[in-house]
């Protein structure tokens, strides 16, 4: 009876060790996929920890991209107006 118990324990330990080995392989593959991803691995981990849904994150990124483009257009227009005003002021000062 004792030998059967030890045998069963040994079998359970082998099965547990095999499950742990498979989990380690999955974790290593996942880490490799993160490292090979176009997105930074730290960003993936941060998103997973924040539990932000990927669809929501894409929407937020699109909004930020639009804001960056709009601010770039506004900056370019302000730069053109500023340079035109500066040229007018310089021309006015040195024309006399």
pLDDT tens sequence across 49-92: 767 677 877 888 888 888 989 999 999 999 999 999 999 999 88
First-to-final CA distance of the chain: 114
Q: What is the pTM of this model?
A: 0.40
Comparing CA positions, the residue from 30, 36, 64, 32 lying closest to residue 48 is 30
What's the alpha-carbon Rg for the chain, to the nearest Å? 31
More confident position, 85 or 40: 85
Query: Using the 8-state DSSP alphabet, how is residue 51 labeled?
Result: T
Structural contact between residues 12 and 5, judged by C-beta atoms closer than 8 angstroms: no
> What pLDDT is stored for residue 25 in this prediction?
79
């Amino acid at each position: 009876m004792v030998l059967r118990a030890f045998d069963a324990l040994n079998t359970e330990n082998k099965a547990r060790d095999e499950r742990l080995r498979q989990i380690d392989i999955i974790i290593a593959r996942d880490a490799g996929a993160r490292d090979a991803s176009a997105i930074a691995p730290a960003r993936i981990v941060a998103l997973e920890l924040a539990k932000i849904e990927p669809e929501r994150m894409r929407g937020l990124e699109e909004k930020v991209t639009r804001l960056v483009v709009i601010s770039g257009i506004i900056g370019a227009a302000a730069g053109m107006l500023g340079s035109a005003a500066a040229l007018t002021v310089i021309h006015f000062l040195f024309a006399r």
